[in-house]
Structure 1
């Protein structure tokens, strides 16, 4: 037998409990005839037979009773070959269509039975019991004799009619259980919903926050505690990795600075000095990116200070201009306002803009221009860095912000710049997305919310 397998624990428990209860109720209901004295399933079949025979009663032209079996009675009798019946009036007159054996018995019994409405049964030699009863029909009070009936599907309506009080008692209870049981299970599993919401909020920045175990059933508590233990181990490992990266990056800053100073001191031709300077610049940027990422991993917002975003943009563009110009490109800064006050991490935002400009420089064809544009609104600022290169395919746009992701591993770079840019934007509560530059290329659009108390000037 096929049994549906629900993936929801709530639905599984509800379905199983309701199913078991329904089986129990049906069992009690259909066992009920055996628990009531002088009641059996054959008695229920007798009720059906009497109703069908009564519906088949009619009279002929002389007014005599006739049993003209209806289609329903014929179908019922066809599945019960031993079924026979007879009807007699108060005067002992037998209805035409009655069984002869039962008719002979009714001639003797009918006048007596009509004075007493209580039915009785007697045993037919070699056969089942014969049921005698009185019927109040449209033709008056009649006496009926029936034997050979047996309980079947057609008798189920008579079953519910006979036990209507029982059905009326159980039906509201079943409806109440069907409504209340799912609600009770939802209430009982409410701690699981809290665990689910807590688990959905976990990332690398709050991995040390355990899942709640208050109110959990004893069967589920060990599983959640095991998950908490696993999260604690991961948190320790992540913290060790984080400290190593931060310390390593910090220790590298001094050697890089010394290397830059020594390159400036030694005599080199212009091409060699430019090449070494570019390599040291890339190395210094990598160290700075690692430090920024290490700080962002701790979600440090204590370094937020008021700043002028226009002044920051001008400084970053001025710092990047020599590198851009040496790459035979140009850069153009456009600001919609002369000054824009903002609250944020100056060093992190500077790294964000440097990464975007560096990325655009690599994509911009020689002789082209990189556009950096600032649009200030009362509630947010938008910074767009556009190039006119090959652009970024739609299927790659969701990957470019992943750490160490590069479409072609032969391309220069570490794959950390855009990952750090995304984290910086997230730290400031903003968003970053990639659009297509008109005419071809990629435009990185950064939207940062502005403190309502600070307005653009």
Structure 2
């Protein structure tokens, strides 16, 4: 019987199929080679045995007998990381290996048995590919929705930050009868411009046009001064103090300035949110031979190693204040990464935490006074 032949020569057939898979798919993983072929062979043996017991060698192959195991096999192949093309080829490999070994051993199989085998493989391929495709579509759909939700969260979070600062500036102007031509008016203007830019970028995305942010070289002193002007009001509103350390005038960074500005603002907003009342949030910049480090330090009391490990996960909120979306740190890390840098956090037990942006170091000529 064919299913007995497959069972008796299982080890040899698996070895031959693995060799074919490894030769064809150069990037096949050890798990694919270890589990993929035995899984397929066991499914085929089970189907052939069921068919033999049900109606004999010459009977028709029942699609129902094949569908369940082939459907599970298609899903399992997806879990192992195979493509749909490789699923089809794996069935072909097994058929070829069975035929070659039967010829070599002069196995006495009838034409009807080989026809049964071919029909089993035809049905198995159809059901496995269908299951593979359906499962793949579900996974891709879930991934797409997750990415869209994350992107929308980024957009809403940035809108909220810009609008919040603009409202603070407006309230300060109104309460103090300040002129819009002054520093507070400039903050209001910059954030309204930022809102306009963000909306324009969203329109560009809707039109499916990819617009890469312009990278420019700019002085670190100017960048820090803009951060200080933009964030001081937010610190006051949260009843804490923003302390900004002096920056060497020759240091510079290169990248998409609005993105990097947004990244640091998100770090500062996070620090204002969790630092203790009337404590200091410190913005400092340091330079090494190859890098510039922008650090935001708070006095939240410390976060612990476990929390530090998941700080940058989207929608992660760990404090009592749940006014935000839990995306600020995720956005900051993404924006820094997009500009060739990295963002990390370290815990200072009993004191607070320090967020560090690491970017490539650049320099410019110091501007004359």
- Partners of 2:225 and 2:166 in 1: CA distance: 28
- Partners of 2:136 and 2:220 in 1: CA distance: 42
Q: CA deviation at 1:335?
A: 4.9
| Alignment equivalent of 1:422, drawn from 321, 333, 349 | 333
Instruction: Answer whether contact 1:372 1:384 (CA < 8 A) is retained.
Output: yes
- Partners of 1:258 and 1:400 in 2: CA distance: 27
| 1:186-265 mapped onto 2 (5 Å cutoff) | 186-190=22-26, 213-214=84-85, 216=87, 217=89, 219=125, 221-230=129-138, 233-234=141-142, 237=145
Q: CA deviation at 1:445?
A: 1.3
* Pair 1:343 & 2:251 matched: no
1:235–1:183: structure 2 CA closer, same or farther, 3 Å change rule? closer
- Partners of 2:339 and 2:269 in 1: CA distance: 21
Larger mean Cα displacement after TM superposition, 351-360 or 225-234: 225-234
Q: CA deviation at 1:234?
A: 4.8
Q: CA deviation at 1:312?
A: 0.8
Q: CA deviation at 1:374?
A: 1.2
Instruction: Answer whether contact 1:363 1:390 (CA < 8 A) is retained.
Output: no
Aligned to 1:363: 274
Where structure 2 has 5 or more consecutive residues not aligned to the other structure, the ranges are 1-6, 33-81, 92-124, 179-187
* Pair 1:321 & 2:157 matched: no
* Structure 1 residue ranges (4+ consecutive) displaced by more than 6 angstroms after TM superposition: 242-262, 264-270, 286-299
Instruction: Answer whether contact 2:221 2:249 (CA < 8 A) is retained.
Output: yes
1:240–1:328: structure 2 CA closer, same or farther, 3 Å change rule? closer
| Alignment equivalent of 2:11, drawn from 19, 36, 51 | 19
Instruction: Answer whether contact 2:274 2:300 (CA < 8 A) is retained.
Output: yes
| 1:29-428 mapped onto 2 (5 Å cutoff) | 182-190=18-26, 213-214=84-85, 216=87, 217=89, 219=125, 221-230=129-138, 233-234=141-142, 237=145, 301-325=212-236, 327-335=238-246, 337-428=248-339
Query: Whose Rg is larger?
Result: 1
1:376–1:266: structure 2 CA closer, same or farther, 3 Å change rule? closer
TM-score (norm: length of structure 2): 0.52
Which gives a bigger RCO, structure 1 or 2 (Cα 8 Å, sep 6+)?
Answer: 2
More helix by share: 2
Instruction: Answer whether contact 2:302 2:347 (CA < 8 A) is retained.
Output: yes
- Partners of 2:293 and 2:165 in 1: CA distance: 34
TM-score (norm: length of structure 1): 0.43
Query: Once the two structures are superposed, what CA deviation does each residue of 1:261-299 show, in whole Å capped at 9, x if it has no partner?
Result: 9867977999xxxxxxxxx9xx98x97998799799999
Instruction: Answer whether contact 1:293 1:420 (CA < 8 A) is retained.
Output: no
Q: CA deviation at 1:455?
A: 4.3
Where structure 1 has 5 or more consecutive residues not aligned to the other structure, the ranges are 1-14, 22-176, 197-210, 271-279
CA RMSD for the aligned pairs?
Answer: 5.4
3-state SS in 1 of match to 2:242: strand
Give aligned pairs, total.
262
Aligned to 1:446: 357
3-state SS in 1 of match to 2:245: strand
3-state SS in 2 of match to 1:389: coil
3-state SS in 2 of match to 1:404: coil
3-state SS in 2 of match to 1:432: strand
Larger mean Cα displacement after TM superposition, 221-230 or 289-298: 289-298
Q: CA deviation at 1:320?
A: 1.6
- Partners of 2:242 and 2:355 in 1: CA distance: 15
Instruction: Answer whether contact 2:168 2:234 (CA < 8 A) is retained.
Output: no
Query: Once the two structures are superposed, what CA deviation does each residue of 1:184-231 show, in whole Å capped at 9, x if it has no partner?
Result: 4422454755xx9xxxxxxxxxxxxxx965555264654554455345
- Partners of 2:161 and 2:272 in 1: CA distance: 25
- Partners of 1:334 and 1:213 in 2: CA distance: 57
